[in-house]
Amino acid sequence: MARVHIIGAGLAGLTAAVKLADAGLEVDLYESSGQAGGRARSFHDDTLDCVIDNGNHLLLTGNYSVRNYLKIIGAEETFSISDEAVFPFLDLATGERWQVRPGKGRLPLWLFDKNRSIPGVKAAEFWSVRKIYFAGKTKTVEACTQYGPLFDRFWEPMTLAALNTPPDVASAFLLKAVLKETFFKGAAYCRPMIAKNGLSESLVAPALDFIKAKGGTVHFNHRLTGKTFRDAEVKELIFGKKKIELGNDQVILAVPPAIAAEMLPGLLVPTEFHAIVNGHFKLKKKQSDDISFMGLLGGVAHWLFLRGDIASVTVSAADRLAEKSSTDIAKLLWADVAKALDLDSKKIPRHHIIKERRATFSQTPTSLYTRPKTKGQSGRLYLAGDWINTGIPATIESAVRSGFMAAKAVLKAL
């Protein structure tokens, strides 16, 4: 039976392992740390005395790779899927509130329906939709749009959420790719999906159980420290003092780009990154179930998520914010949370600030040419990760899709 060694137990590595184990292959999954999931996992925080996610993530029903992954590992019911495609927003500067409600059709005419879209959008702004839809690989989001309500309240928030890159340098081609799978396909493809109890319970633990049930082995605290090439083939993997002779085994490298480049000299990978800052606040009591998330404009925070008595906020492309102290960040973020939920802004509750300084690569037009293909440099070596050329931005959907792509390449080679 064919054996596959997968280095890295983030979502890309987990997906590849799940798919290959399901296909009947022997799978060994190696993770340098003591837990799986990478940047999409949960953990118990002692300060808040509860389980929180490492980062906040909003998935959509159009994320078909994630939904397929959930189906395979039997975790579909761990996500709450909204009955309707509704996205509430609040302008913190003006106090104005509205809801974005995509229509059923593929043409985004709902953007200009005052009952479904952003207040104040003018018909002239429709041309920006057309320019985004037909954007080539050299265009930035800003170059395809014009300043106005549609830019401030849709294009910019969508760009930051999907690409974690400011619109003036973000790739319009990548934004188009994600919109074509969700908002530009109609309401059925952009209903919000939120993990009921945490990312690990939904995306990680069921996958580990599935892999083990299929006979796969998961090795934690195994850091790849070296490998041996002979005749352009990887022949040996080295984990500290442990050496594994590969023979005809296959290898999937599902690690961050910098590590992949270190392991494979000459591999072209993205080298510029943007930060994401997440803040988690323990509230005195649970908020209303009417709203589980909200887009925020006019402040520091970009998205607010509510789960029980925990309010979590996310700031994308947060390079400058990440340079501040956690104390200063907490003050800024709590001011936005308090305004959004009508709470006392002077009394900052217990909180936990998480800075991901290299959350995703800078998704500019130039970066499109630094994303490698799944096939690696040798005959039996493959790559996986949200930074691989999946055709979409570096998101959870991209990470999962890359894992499926690597697994498919392995199966095709056998």
> Tens digit of pLDDT for each residue in 134-164?
999 999 999 999 888 899 999 999 999 999 9
> Given this model, what pLDDT does residue 377 score?
66
CB 264 within 8 A of CB 377: yes
CA 44 to chain CA centroid, Å, is 21
Is pLDDT at 289 greater than 80 in this prediction?
Answer: no
Closest listed residue to residue 193, CA positions, set 396, 402, 21: 396
Q: 379 in helix, strand or coil?
A: coil
H-run or E-run covering 226: strand 226-230
Domains of the chain: 3-45+197-270+365-413 (3.50.50.60), 87-190 (no CATH), 273-361 (3.90.660.10)
* Per-chain mean pLDDT for the chain: 93
What are the residues whose beta carbons fall under 8 Å from the beta carbon of 347, sequence distance 6 or more? Answer: none
The residue written with tokens 């899927």 in the block is: 81
Question: CA 281, 283, 287, 289 torsion: positive or negative?
Answer: positive
> Given this model, what pLDDT does residue 380 score?
85
> Could you report the per-residue pLDDT of 196-236, keeping only the tens digit for each?
999 999 999 999 999 999 999 999 999 998 877 765 677 88
Cα gap 245→376, rounded to integer Å: 19
* Relative orientation angle of helices 396-413 and 64-73, to the nearest 10 degrees: 70
| Three-class SS of 257-318 | HHHHHHHCCCCCCCCCEEEEEEEEEECCCCCCCCCCEEEEECCCCCEEEEECCEEEEEECCC
Region 176-189: mean pLDDT is 95
Q: Report which of residues 113 and 245 the model is more confident about.
A: 245
> Given this model, what pLDDT does residue 372 score?
96
Question: Picking from 23-27, 304-308, 332-336, 377-381, which range would have the lowest pLDDT averaged per residue?
Answer: 377-381
Distances (CA, A) of 106 to 64, 130, 401: 17, 13, 23
Is pLDDT at 19 greater than 80 in this prediction?
Answer: yes
Cβ-in-10-Å burial (0-12, 13-18, 19+) of 378 comes to: middle
What are the residues whose beta carbons fall under 8 Å from the beta carbon of 19, sequence distance 6 or more? Answer: 72, 403, 404, 407, 408
Sheet order of strands, 233-239 included: 226-230, 233-239, 242-245
> Given this model, what pLDDT does residue 107 score?
76
The residues pairing with 294 across neighbouring beta strands, listed in sequence order, are: 304
Alpha helices in 97-193 (DSSP H): 126-133, 141-144, 149-150, 156-163, 172-181
291 φ, ψ (degrees, to nearest 5): -130, 125
Is pLDDT at 338 greater than 90 in this prediction?
Answer: yes
CB 160 within 8 A of CB 302: yes
Count of alpha carbons within 13 Å of 324, Cβ hemisphere only? 15
Count of alpha carbons within 13 Å of 112, Cβ hemisphere only? 11
> Given this model, what pLDDT does residue 379 score?
73
> Given this model, what pLDDT does residue 326 score?
97
Closest listed residue to residue 296, CA positions, set 337, 325, 266: 337
CB 177 within 8 A of CB 391: yes
Cα gap 287→102, rounded to integer Å: 26
Region 338-349: mean pLDDT is 94
59 φ, ψ (degrees, to nearest 5): -100, 160
What are the residues whose beta carbons fall under 8 Å from the beta carbon of 256, sequence distance 6 or more? Answer: 358, 385, 387
CB 96 within 8 A of CB 89: no
Question: What angle is formed at CA 224 by the lines to CA 219 and CA 226, rounded to 5 degrees?
Answer: 145
Cα gap 384→398, rounded to integer Å: 10
Q: Report which of residues 311 and 229 the model is more confident about.
A: 311
